[in-house]
Chain A
Amino acid sequence: NAGVTQTPKFQVLKTGQSMTLQCAQDMNHEYMSWYRQDPGMGLRLIHYSVGAGITDQGEVPNGYNVSRSTTEDFPLRLLSAAPSQTSVYFCASSYSLALSQETQYFGPGTRLLVL
């Protein structure tokens, strides 16, 4: 299994540009989520999904869209990039919401710089 994969690893955008961060998992996990990590802020939840076709907002959803058309993929879209979105983005997944299945598996991250 490849686990959780993220692309790209690095990206530089200009203010106002849009882009999609890709996330895929091959473990048949129901639960997927996106976090951003900023110095001194820890990880903050952007959006999450409990299964195909179901998404919900996390702590910092503004400026981001997600969709979950398949179990495997959970892309994060930046509609109009702003310098405040400069961060490291992590995608994570876990098997289900059932007890003993909440361990999250993280991707390697995407470093985004918005100029």
Chain B
Amino acid sequence: SQQGEEDPQALSIQEGENATMNCSYKTSINNLQWYRQNSGRGLVHLILIRSNEREKHSGRLRVTLDTSKKSSSLLITASRAADTASYFCATVFRRGYQKVTFGIGTKLQVIP
């Protein structure tokens, strides 16, 4: 079964607004990553947050991680039409070999 579950599954906002997506997971992790997928394309890595970190920023992206609640959030500030895409969280667990598990994604639509 999937480790990560994104919430909401779909989100529609106006350009300029902030978009928040959440990810919950079930087991211990080494790190959590967020990826973006434009329609018909492969996934592109956005940001990685380690299990001992609580918050990380990259440009207009802000990621938080709460290991006690086994959850993470991705905030995109001042959204643009070009941010329209699906966003996935991926949990990484390493015991011997690395296992990366993806959630089902949040489909974000930013309306110009």
Contact = CB atoms under 8 A, between A and B. Distances in A.
A43 interface: yes
B104 interface: yes
Interface residues of B, number: 27
Interface of A is mostly: strand
B104 A50 contact: no
Interface stretch (A12-20, A62-70, A101-109): A101-109
B94 to A, nearest CB: 7
Contacts of A109: 40-42
Contacts of A35: 102
19 contacts: A35-B102, A40-B104, A41-B2, A41-B104, A42-B102, A42-B103, A42-B104, A43-B102, A48-B97, A56-B97, A58-B99, A92-B43, A102-B31, A102-B48, A102-B98, A103-B33, A103-B48, A104-B43, A106-B42
Interface of B: 2, 4, 30-31, 33, 35, 40-45, 48, 50, 88, 90, 92, 94, 97-105
What 8 pairs across the A-B complex have the smallest Cβ distances? A106-B42, A42-B104, A43-B102, A106-B43, A103-B45, A42-B102, A108-B42, A97-B98
